[in-house]
Amino acid sequence: MSESHHMTEDAFRRHAHALVDWIIDYRERRVRELPVLSQVEPGEIRARLAKDPPERGEPFEAMLRDVDEILLPGITHWQSPDFFAFFPANTSYPAILGELLSAGLGVQGMLWATSPACTELETHVLDWLVTMLGLPERFRSSGTGGGTIEDSASSAALCALLAARERATGFATNERGVDRPLVAYASTQTHSSLEKAIGVAGIGKGNLRSIDVDEAFAIRPDLLLERIAADRAEGRIPFFVCATVGTTSSNAIDPLPEIGAICEAEGLWLHVDAAMAGSALLLPEMRHLVAGIDGDPAAGVPAADSLSWNPHKWMGTILDCSLL
Ligand SMILES: *Cc1c(COP(=O)(O)O)cnc(C)c1O
């Protein structure tokens, strides 16, 4: 009788139930008892894994035992109620179920035609969020806006940068190249993902200006304006400002009305990085955090051009769920 490597539907049902029970036990009980920060030394987990790729599969029970004995000691427990490091990243039962359904369907969402429901649900929920966050109408898919789910705020920043670059150069960067350096601006407190995106986009890390902050760690608009003027005088092309609403280290809020007015006057793309604090905007009483994002039509100040927000930080969704 030949050995079967195929997991039958009965086996899948049994193992899936066991795994769900394992997850519930982990979340309700064990995570409270385990040390929050993994206590292993570098290489310790790897040393316990088989040196060569296994020739044969193992029973599910043995694999779950490996999870307990080998992997769990190497996990830092972001879901622990005692976790206060890095930034919050809380998952939830509904998010886990959604992930399971998505895996079960094996959805491909790269084009509308590859699964229309995927694109339409994404577009529709992002329009809901325009309503829920009180964002300007131009962020809706019915106009020139519309949101997408990115894997990370890092990717969102890269997309915004590329769009800004092409707008600033009339699509010349792609076709003919530009003969002068493009320059982007952000505060010294900006997340490192922006510097990375500048590098990936080929802008050159030397063309990101880190503007100093005030005592509340918010960017100083006067210094921003000075720096833009100096770059113009030296023949560069200022094109992009990233304002942060909730910096990762201190939740500092950059002043959007002042920055918006500068971007309008100077013709720069304004990207609002609300990766950290975006979830707070679901509360109407917290909308003041993005006061100025809809601009001041009377004064000719438009809304920000783009906004990113990470529900995977503290809205209970699973990484990766970053909205642009
Ligand atoms: C966490 C964070 C990011 C990066 O988010 P990723 O989704 O991990 O790329 C960017 N900006 C701010 C303000 C953040 O807090």
Which of 42, 69, 85 terminates a domain? The answer is: 85
237 within some domain: yes
Asked if residue 276 has its Cβ within 6 Å of ligand 1, the reply is yes
Output the domain CATH number for residue 51.
Answer: 1.20.1340.10
pLDDT for 138 equals 85
pLDDT for 177 equals 74
- What's the CA-to-centroid distance between 315 and ligand 1, angstroms? 14
- What's the CA-to-centroid distance between 191 and ligand 1, angstroms? 6
Count: domains in the chain: 2
107 within some domain: no
- What's the CA-to-centroid distance between 176 and ligand 1, angstroms? 33
Residue range 171-191: mean pLDDT, rounded = 87
Mean residue pLDDT across the chain:
92
Residue range 297-311: mean pLDDT, rounded = 81
pLDDT at 296 over 90: no
Give the residue from 139, 187, 148, 128 showing the smallest Cα distance to 293. 139
> pLDDT-derived band of residue 118, with 50, 70 and 90 as boundaries?
very high
- What's the CA-to-centroid distance between 104 and ligand 1, angstroms? 29
> pLDDT-derived band of residue 131, with 50, 70 and 90 as boundaries?
very high
- What's the CA-to-centroid distance between 254 and ligand 1, angstroms? 15
Output the domain CATH number for residue 158.
Answer: 3.40.640.10
> pLDDT-derived band of residue 179, with 50, 70 and 90 as boundaries?
confident
| Cα torsion 225, 230, 233, 235: sign | negative
Are residues 218 and 298 both part of a single domain?
Answer: yes
Are residues 256 and 138 both part of a single domain?
Answer: yes
Strands (E), the chain: 149-150, 182-187, 208-211, 237-244, 269-273, 306-308, 322-323
| Cα torsion 230, 232, 237, 240: sign | positive
- What's the CA-to-centroid distance between 152 and ligand 1, angstroms? 7
Which of 35, 66, 85 terminates a domain? The answer is: 85
> pLDDT-derived band of residue 295, with 50, 70 and 90 as boundaries?
confident
Are residues 61 and 136 both part of a single domain?
Answer: no
Ligand 1 pocket test, candidate residues 154, 158, 196, 308, most atoms within 8 A of CB:
154
> pLDDT-derived band of residue 1, with 50, 70 and 90 as boundaries?
very low
Residue range 309-316: mean pLDDT, rounded = 93
Are residues 127 and 267 both part of a single domain?
Answer: yes
Asked if residue 271 has its Cβ within 6 Å of ligand 1, the reply is no
Q: Which of the listed ranges 51-60, 132-141, 166-175, 208-217 does the model predict with the highest average pLDDT? A: 208-217
pLDDT for 300 equals 58
Are residues 164 and 244 both part of a single domain?
Answer: yes
Ligand 1 pocket test, candidate residues 242, 310, 321, most atoms within 8 A of CB:
310
105 within some domain: no
Please name the residues in contact with 278: beta carbons below 8 A apart, sequence gap of 6 or more.
133, 245, 246, 307, 308, 309, 310, 311, 313, 323
Sort strands 182-187 and 269-273 into parallel, antiparallel or unpaired: unpaired
- What's the CA-to-centroid distance between 192 and ligand 1, angstroms? 8
Give the residue from 293, 315, 288 showing the smallest Cα distance to 304. 293
pLDDT at 299 over 80: no
21 or 5, which is more confident: 21
- The predicted model scores a pTM of 0.92
Ligand 1 pocket test, candidate residues 213, 248, 314, most atoms within 8 A of CB:
248
pLDDT for 4 equals 66
Are residues 165 and 55 both part of a single domain?
Answer: no
Are residues 132 and 80 both part of a single domain?
Answer: no
pLDDT digits (tens, 9 = 90+) for 213-269: 999 999 999 999 999 999 999 999 999 999 999 999 999 999 999 999 999 999 999
Asked if residue 243 has its Cβ within 6 Å of ligand 1, the reply is no
Domain that holds residue 24: 9-85
